Structure 1
Amino acid sequence: MGHLHANTDSLTARVRRIAGQLAAIEKAIEADAPCATVLQQAAAVRGAVNGLMDQLIEEHLREHVARPDLSPEARASGTEELLAVIRRYAK
């Protein structure tokens, strides 16, 4: 996804926040935090990953499927790539 270079800072910041959330879960588990606390943190990570996936899917769709100057072959390839990811993501 070479087109992501335009949003590298934003995407990297999102990934770092997710990494921080995961580190907080690890610390909570090691500190024997209450189950509800760990569950809330895990739910927050899931939401953050879902938000990252939404952004990546949108950017892929715009760049590799919807861009007006794409050839039919490139559009079909971008569509198949996106479908494969969505199938895997939806499991």
Structure 2
Amino acid sequence: MPSTPEEKKKVLTRVRRIRGQIDALERSLEGDAECRAILQQIAAVRGAANGLMAEVLESHIRERLTEMTATAAKSANPLTTLLNWFEPILNS
């Protein structure tokens, strides 16, 4: 999760933009828009959601690496710990 107020604001702005894209998609579906236009909107929503996921994931990786660097002597293998944490997310 974004830890600084600036990061949080940036993520929330992305979420609101995605919400706007989904609202536009819903209006297109209700208005019987062409299939091609609807598919383009869906692709845009998917791209925006992937971008959001990447941003939150990067923020979390940075936090975890900072924590693990500070406690590296206590952990057997910080990289393995990090990869185990992300495995379910990356495989979904």
Q: One fold, TM greater than 0.5?
A: yes
Residues in 1 aligned to 2:54 and 2:31: alpha-carbon distance in whole angstroms: 33
Counterpart contact for 1:22–1:45, Cα < 8 Å: yes
Task: Report 1 or 2 for greater relative contact order, CA contacts < 8 Å, sequence distance ≥ 6.
Answer: 2
Q: 1:83 is matched with which residue?
A: 87
Residues in 1 aligned to 2:15 and 2:58: alpha-carbon distance in whole angstroms: 17
Q: 2:3 is matched with which residue?
A: 5
Cα offset, 1:80, TM superposition = 1.9
Counterpart of 1:27 in structure 2: which amino acid? Answer: R
Normalising by structure 1, what TM-score? 0.81
Percent identity over paired residues = 37
Aligned positions, number: 85
Q: Which runs of 4+ in 1 moved over 6 A?
A: none
Structure 2: unaligned runs, 5 residues or longer: none
Cα offset, 1:82, TM superposition = 1.2
Higher radius of gyration, 1 or 2: 2
Structure 1: unaligned runs, 5 residues or longer: none
Normalising by structure 2, what TM-score? 0.80
3-state DSSP of counterpart to 2:90: helix
**Cα-to-partner distance string for 1:15-37 (whole Å, 9 max, x where unaligned):** 00001100100000000011111
More helix by share: 1
- After superposing the two structures, state which structure 1 stretch, 51-60 or 37-46, moved more: 51-60
